[in-house]
Amino acid sequence: MSRWSLYTWKRDGRSLRRALPTLTVLAALLTTSAGVAAGAAEAVERDVLGSGGLTQIELSSFEGEESVRPLTTSALQDAENAPGVRQVVADYSSGLYAEEDGTYDLTSHTLTPGDDLPVTKGKVPAELGRSEVVLPAVAQGTDFAPLLGRTVAFGYTKATGAASGTTAVIKLKIVALYDPTWQADGPGVAYLSEDTAALLAAARAGQEPEVFRDKEGAQSATVVVDHQKQVAAATKTLQDDGFSASPVSDRVRNLPGLFGAADLAMRVGVLILALVAIGLGVVRAADSTRARIGQFAILRILGSGRPELRRILLGEAVLSGGVAGVVGVAVGTGVSLALVSPLSDVLGLPIKLTDALPGPGWVAAALLLPALGLAVGTLLGSREVLRRDPYLTARAHS
Amino acid sequence: MNTASPPAVAAEGLAFSYASGGGLTRADLTLEAGAMAAVEGPSGSGKSTLLALLGLILSPSAGSLHITGTDTGALAPAERDLLRQRSIGIVLQDLGLLPFLSAWENVAAAFGPRLGRHRTAARDLLGDLGMAQLADSRVTELSGGQRQRIAVARAAVKQPVLILADEPTSGLDPKTANSVMNSLRSCAERGSAVLIVTHDSTVAGACDQRYVLDEGVLSTAHKETARKENLA
């Protein structure tokens, strides 16, 4: 970088300073995306891991996938016998609907150790009883608050043939209500004990619960080990036994879906930032050098060599990219922090301000890429124009 | 023992040819410190090429060039740039000043980009040339004559060994042209060798030595210099 760059960048409107606004916006967008994604991921991770996720392993049953062991009673018993395993809770999915008041139709699941429900009213016991249920505070227009603590009759489907069934009734005490924006298993879910959830699932399949659990098995199961250190070994044992097993902590840290897409989008964003910076450098450096060829000729006669002229342009590129990076990161971080509250509302999870700070890798990319890209582009763009001595070019045009 | 100083400029058989044709066929030139010389010649005769060679911007394809005894042909490009910055001042009629600097900053720019260090020298020289009131002006606010005199000041401020001036009075009214010539003359009197490229015979006549450049060949026009005429 030449000291002349400080003058030309600051005072000459034809310098590479013109690339500043575009690069600032891109750096800010990248930083904001990184901050928002980090905030969301942190909140979800904390939510899942906070409920003991660090000591949990998830077993999945893929329907029709013969290589994966079904989660039948005997299989779950095997899992429970694996070294270090303290508890196995199977999740059976079915449905509950209104029998008396209201028109709701709720999905039912087993309340597993992985479900960290944000309870708003009532209390979830250490182990949910067979005749107890936890509901969302509001679902499908029905407010369950007045029913809290009461035993309510719910309807469920009992299959009587291949395409026929009747309604059966089960009475359950509503022991707690949770924030309905918490939708880890989808909207409007009723959480039951494992036995009750299995009863409903079996009824819908037209089977006795024991038969259903022995033959069909659970959709998924949560395995709890005694200590975090045992997770890896237990997972390996379960996988060797044919289970589809993965530590909850890994699953959370490699959050699929939305967070995976956000991560991909940011990687694309980094690529765009780099390419735009290089492209701007190529175009702007060539244009700027042509427009200022007379100035460069004067600098030549004042003692600057062509390498110094390149250093002037490089200096302008580094200053422009550097300022764009710093301002972009500052603005992007500010926007990301400002979005914490609305993002928290959307996810239904508390997000700390520190959660929404973009990761160091993304910050480094947003800080450095504008300057690096613009510098590379400037070297490419100015090469052709500076191939001939600016003094001779200017004299030829004068 | 010979203790005589080497000439400010000594060029022998200097030549340069462009890939597209043209250039300089041969130039032999010696300028002592304090000399004021003019080179006349029609357009396309190689005047700009000669200036670029003497200013160490172009490297000759043949011949030798010594600046105060230093063989410039033996220098690396960076050393040539440094020698130009330290020892040569160049005044260009049409490539004047850096528009993003003020008048005094343009003068101080002769020393390099650390302008603040040379503020006093630049302002003092502008004062000596009667332009103190213009020191802080933006160069875009100055007239053509004022800009040219500042360009001369920039070339002279470091008291270089050699000042090269390309059509320094072109387009100026007689009074301003005279002022510019007086500035160049004072540079010569302070020890710089001054070489002026010009179409104007009046300007050439005010110099001590006159050369003619025709079809790339430099030759002496008048051996008797104006100075000697004045002395007589």
pLDDT, tens digit (0-9, with 9 covering 90-100), for B129-188: 888 899 999 888 888 888 888 988 898 888 899 999 988 888 778 888 888 888 889 889
Closest chain B residue by Cα to residue A312: B113
What pLDDT does residue B160 have?
93
d(CA A325, CA A328): 5
Q: Are residues A162 and A70 in the same domain?
A: yes
Going by C-alpha positions, the residue among B41, B39, B13, B12 that lies closest to residue B211 is B39
What percentage of residues in chain A have a pLDDT greater than 70? Answer: 92
The stretch A193-207 carries a mean pLDDT of 94
Query: Which single residue is written with the structure tokens 């840290």?
Result: A253
The pairing of beta strand B36-40 with beta strand B193-198: parallel
Q: Are residues A333 and A346 in the same domain?
A: yes
Going by C-alpha positions, the residue among A367, A386, A253 that lies closest to residue A307 is A386
Tokens of B62: 């043949």
Inter-chain contact B92–A307, Cβ cutoff 8 Å?
no
Count of domains for chain A: 2
pLDDT, one tens digit per residue, over A235-277 is 999 999 889 888 877 655 555 555 666 777 778 888 888 888 8
Domain span including residue B67: 9-94+164-231
Going by C-alpha positions, the residue among A390, A383, A379 that lies closest to residue A314 is A379
Torsions phi, psi of A140, nearest 5? Answer: 50, 40
Inter-chain contact A11–B77, Cβ cutoff 8 Å?
no
Which of A4, A7, A391 is the closest to B52 by Cβ? A391
Let me know if residue B177 belongs to a domain. Answer: yes
Which of A300, A302, A308 is the closest to B110 by Cβ? A302
Bridge partners, A152 (sequence order): A172
Reported residue count of chain A is 398
Going by C-alpha positions, the residue among A245, A131, A243, A239 that lies closest to residue A190 is A131
**Positive or negative: CA dihedral A345, A349, A354, A357:** negative
Bridge partners, B195 (sequence order): B37, B164
Tokens of A143: 């407010």
What pLDDT does residue B228 have?
45
Nearest Cα of chain B lies from the Cα of A1 at a distance, in angstroms, of 12
Higher-confidence residue of B94 and B18: namely B18
What pLDDT does residue B226 have?
46
Query: Which single residue is written with the structure tokens 């022998």?
Result: B12
Q: Are residues A184 and A120 in the same domain?
A: yes
Inter-chain contact A3–B100, Cβ cutoff 8 Å?
no
What pLDDT does residue A307 have?
85
pLDDT at B9 over 60: yes
Let me know if residue B30 belongs to a domain. Answer: yes
Let me know if residue B222 belongs to a domain. Answer: yes
Q: Are residues A87 and A26 in the same domain?
A: no
pLDDT at B69 over 60: yes
Higher-confidence residue of A248 and A121: namely A121
Q: Are residues A37 and A94 in the same domain?
A: no
Let me know if residue B120 belongs to a domain. Answer: no
d(CA A375, CA A281): 7
Contact of B37 with B51, CB cutoff 8 Å: no
Contact list, A7 vs chain B (CB under 8 Å): 100-101, 113, 115
Contact of B80 with B56, CB cutoff 8 Å: yes
What pLDDT does residue A53 have?
67
Q: Are residues A97 and A188 in the same domain?
A: yes
Minimum mean pLDDT among A202-206, A373-377, B47-51, B174-178: which range?
B174-178
Bridge partners, B211 (sequence order): B39, B220
Tokens of B121: 């020298």
Domain span including residue A70: 55-253
Let me know if residue B51 belongs to a domain. Answer: yes
Q: Are residues A217 and A240 in the same domain?
A: yes
Let me know if residue B47 belongs to a domain. Answer: yes
Question: 3-state class of B107 per DSSP?
Answer: helix
What pLDDT does residue A375 have?
92
**Positive or negative: CA dihedral A383, A384, A385, A386:** positive
Please report which confidence band the pLDDT of residue B88 belongs to, taking 50, 70 and 90 as the band edges: very high
What pLDDT does residue A270 have?
85
Inter-chain contact A389–B110, Cβ cutoff 8 Å?
no
Angle made by CA atoms B57, A311, A279, in degrees to the nearest 5: 120
d(CA B196, CA A281): 40
pLDDT at A189 over 50: yes
pLDDT at B217 over 60: yes
Q: Are residues A304 and A322 in the same domain?
A: yes
Beta strands in A63-147 (DSSP E): 85-91, 94-98, 105-110, 119-122, 132-136, 138-139, 142-143
The pairing of beta strand A244-247 with beta strand A56-60: antiparallel
Contact of A169 with A62, CB cutoff 8 Å: no
Torsions phi, psi of B8, nearest 5? Answer: -60, -45
Minimum mean pLDDT among A201-215, B26-40, B68-82, B174-188: which range?
B174-188
What pLDDT does residue B224 have?
46
Contact of A80 with A59, CB cutoff 8 Å: no
pLDDT, one tens digit per residue, over A267-324 is 888 888 888 889 888 888 888 888 888 888 888 888 888 888 889 999 999 999 999 9
Q: Are residues A125 and A226 in the same domain?
A: yes
The stretch A104-116 carries a mean pLDDT of 88
Tokens of B218: 């430099």
Contact list, A296 vs chain B (CB under 8 Å): none
d(CA A39, CA A341): 11
Going by C-alpha positions, the residue among A33, A89, A92, A47 that lies closest to residue A255 is A47
What pLDDT does residue A251 have?
59
Contact list, B99 vs chain A (CB under 8 Å): 12, 295
Q: What is the CATH number of the domain that holds B73?
A: 3.40.50.300
Please report which confidence band the pLDDT of residue A50 belongs to, taking 50, 70 and 90 as the band edges: low
Please report which confidence band the pLDDT of residue A197 belongs to, taking 50, 70 and 90 as the band edges: very high
d(CA A72, CA A63): 13
Bridge partners, A169 (sequence order): A155
d(CA A18, CA A163): 70
Count of domains for chain B: 1
Q: Are residues A240 and A289 in the same domain?
A: no
Q: If you average pLDDT over every residue of chain A, what do you get? A: 87
Contact of A190 with A150, CB cutoff 8 Å: no
> Which residues of A make CB contacts under 8 Å with B?
2-4, 6-8, 11-12, 294-295, 297-305, 307-308, 389, 391-392, 394-395, 398
Q: Are residues A114 and A213 in the same domain?
A: yes
The pairing of beta strand A220-225 with beta strand B23-31: unpaired
Torsions phi, psi of B199, nearest 5? Answer: -95, -15
Let me know if residue B77 belongs to a domain. Answer: yes
Q: Are residues A283 and A331 in the same domain?
A: yes
pLDDT at B225 over 70: no
Helices (H) and strands (E) in chain A, counts: 13, 13
Closest chain B residue by Cα to residue A7: B100
| The dihedral formed by the CA atoms of B132, B137, B141 and B142, expressed in degrees to the nearest 10 | 30
Distances (CA, A) of A278 to A19, A158, A227: 11, 66, 51
The stretch A104-115 carries a mean pLDDT of 89
The stretch B25-31 carries a mean pLDDT of 93
Q: What is the Cα Rg of chain B in Å? A: 17
What pLDDT does residue B229 have?
44
Inter-chain contact B95–A8, Cβ cutoff 8 Å?
no
Q: Last residue of some domain: A206, A238, A253?
A: A253
For A14, counting Cβ atoms within 10 Å of its Cβ (0-12 exposed, 13-18 middle, 19+ buried), the class is: middle
Residue A43 identity (one-letter amino acid): A
Minimum mean pLDDT among A19-23, A67-71, A109-113: which range?
A67-71
